[in-house]
Copies of this chain bind each other. A is one copy, B any other.
Amino acid sequence: MVDIATRVWNHKWKIDPIVRSLIDTDFYKLLMCQSVFRQRPHVQVTFSLINRSTQVRLADLVDEGELREQLDHVRSLSLSRGESTWMRGNTFYGKRQMFGAEFMDWFEQLRLPPYHLEKRDGQYELTFEGSWPEVMLWEIPALSILMELRSRAVLRDMGRFELQVLYARAMTKVWEKVECLRTLDGLRLADFGTRRRHSFLWQDWCVQALEEGLGGAFTGTSNCLIAKNRDMEAIGTNAHELPMVYAALTDTDAALRQAPYDVLAGWQAEHDGNLRIILPDTFGTPGFLAGAPNWLAGWTGIRIDSGDPATGAENAIAWWQSRGEDPRDKLVIFSDGLNVDKIIELHAQFRGRVRVSFGWGTMLTNDFIGLVPDDALAPFSLVCKAVAADGRPTVKLSDNPNKAMGPVEEVARYKRVFGVGAQAGVEVVV
C-alpha cells in the first residue's frame, strides 16, 4: 500500500539532498575540529578540491546547478538536537564527554562557510576559505557530494531492473569480500569509506552488511551519522591536516622540523588509549620516527596511510623495538588502498606480531568496478585538502611521491628539513 502522504511529501523536495546532516562526516574530523577549536581557532585556511583522476571530467559529468544546490543545502544544515545529544552523551573510545561543553555550544551554532566554485578544463575548482574549525568541516561533505553526483549522472539513463541488477551485483561483490574476510581469525576492521562512497545509502548498506557478516570482527564506522543511526562505534583519530597546517604556520626550519611533534604533544594532552595513534607519513615516515621523542613510542599505535604498507609496518615494529617497546602491545592501523587480497596478506604477515586493525575505505563503499560500460562508476581519487594557512602554502610529502602536495620550492624545502631522500612511487588509484 502506498503511503500517500509520504509520496506527496517526497514530491515536495526541491532536491534529493546527498548530505543531510553535519555529522554525516568522519569521526576524526570532529575530534580534530575540537582540537583546532581549542588550540588554533583563528587560523585562516583554504581547502581545495583536487581530482587526481583527471580522466574523470567531473565538470562535464556533473551539472553545476545541481552541485550548487547540494552545496547550498549543506550550508543550510545545523546540528540537530538528537545529533548534539549523541555527541554529548555517547561514549567514544570508552570515554564519556569526549566533546566538551564549550565546543558543543559552538558546534550547535555552526553553519558551514561559503564556497567558491568555478569550472576549468572539465574540472570543478571548489575552494573554501575561512577560520580553520569551520572550513575543515567542508572536506567530507564536499567529497561525498561530488562522488554521489557523479554516480547519479552515470545512473541517470538506466532502466529500473537494470539499476536493481547493478546494485545486486555491487551487493554481491561486497558480500564476497565479507565471505573472504570472515575466515580471518582475529580480524578487526572498520569502515573508513565516507569520503569516496558511491552514495550515502550505499555506504549505509555496506556498513550494515559488514556488521551482519563479520560480527565482532567489524569494529565500527568512521561515519558519525551512520554510527548514531545504527548504534555502532564511531571510529577515527587524526589526519594529515593537523601537521600540514601546523607546519605551514612555522617561521623557521627548526620550528618546521618540530611541528609534527607539537601536534601530537597537543593531542596527547587531550586524548589517551586507542586515540593515541601516530600518523607518521605527512613529511615522510622514516625521518619522523627517527626524530620522534621517546614519549611518542609510548603511544598505542600507528596508522599507515601511504607507501608500501608492509614496509611501513615493519619499520614501525623495528622502531618500537629500538625504543624498548613490545610491538605485541602496539596497534597498527592500515588505511591506504586496501582490498581483500591486501587485507588477507597484511593480516597474515602481522598477526601475532602486533595488534592489527584495518580502516577500509574506497574499495568497501565504492567498488562498482566493472559493473557498467567504460567502467564509468569506478572509484577515482578525489581529495579536499588544506592548501594554505594564514596565507602560507601547505605541503604534504607522504611516503608516496605521487601523493605529495604543495608548491615545488616548498616541497623541496620540506624534503630538506625532514631529510626525505628518494621515495618509491606507488600508483594512486583511489
Contacts of A167 in B (CB 8 A): 168
A157, CB-defined interface residue at 8 Å: no
Assembly stoichiometry (copies) = 2
Q: Are A172 and B168 in contact (CB under 8 A)?
A: yes
Q: How far apart sit A160 and B205, CA to CA, in the bound complex (Å)?
A: 11
Interface residues of A in 167-187 (CB under 8 A from B): 167-169, 171-172, 174-175
- Partner of A171 from the list B5, B6, B164, B175 (CB cut-off 8 Å) is B164
Q: Considering only CB atoms, which chain B residue lies closest to A165 in the complex?
A: B175
Contact B212 A161 (CB under 8 A): yes
A51 in contact (CB, < 8 A): no
Q: Is A21 an interface residue when CB atoms closer than 8 A count as contact?
A: no
Smallest beta-carbon distance A373→chain B, Å: 12
Chain B residues, CB < 8 A from A209: 161, 164-165
Contacts of A5 in B (CB 8 A): 1
CA distance A162 to B172 in the complex (A): 10
Interface string of A211-229 (1 = CB under 8 A from B): 0110000000000000000
Minimum Cβ distance to chain B for residue A64 (Å): 32
Number of A residues with CB within 8 Å of any CB on chain B: 22
Q: Is A402 an interface residue (CB 8 A)?
A: no
Taken residue by residue from 100 to 113, chain A's Cβ proximity to chain B (1 for < 8 Å, 0 otherwise) reads as: 00000000000000
Is A82 part of the contact surface with B, judged by Cβ < 8 Å?
Answer: no
CB-CB < 8 A to A1: which residues of B?
3, 5-6, 9
Query: Which A residues are within 8 Å of any B CB, using their own CB?
Result: 1, 3, 5-6, 9, 159-162, 164-165, 167-169, 171-172, 174-175, 208-209, 212-213
List the B side residues contacting A212 at CB < 8 Å.
159-162
Residues of B within 8 A of A172 (CB): 165, 168-169, 172
Q: Which residue from B3, B160, B161, B175 sits with its C-beta under 8 Å from A175?
A: B161
- Least CB distance from A232 to B in Å reads 14
Of chain B, the residue at the smallest CB distance from A167 is B168
Closest chain-B Cβ to A13's Cβ sits at a distance in Å of 14
Interface centre among A160, A164, A174 (most CB of B within 10 A): A164
Q: CA–CA, A165 to B179, complex, Å?
A: 11
B6/A161 in contact, CB under 8 A: no
Q: In the complex, what residues of B have CB within 8 A of residue A6's CB?
A: 1, 3
Contact of A213 among B161, B168, B213 (CB under 8 A): B161
Taking the closest CB of chain B, its distance from the CB of A175, in whole angstroms, is 4
Q: Which 8 A-B pairs have the closest CB atoms?
A: A168-B168, A165-B175, A168-B171, A3-B3, A161-B212, A161-B209, A1-B6, A159-B212
Within 8 Å CB of A159, what residues of B? Answer: 212-213
Q: List 15 A-B contacts (CB under 8 A).
A: A3-B3, A3-B6, A161-B175, A161-B209, A162-B175, A162-B212, A162-B213, A165-B171, A165-B172, A165-B174, A165-B209, A168-B169, A168-B172, A168-B175, A169-B172
Q: Check B168–A208 contact: CB distance below 8 A.
A: no
A125 to chain B, nearest CB (A): 39
Q: Shortest CB–CB separation between residue A248 and chain B, in angstroms?
A: 45
CB distance from A370 to the nearest CB of B (A): 13
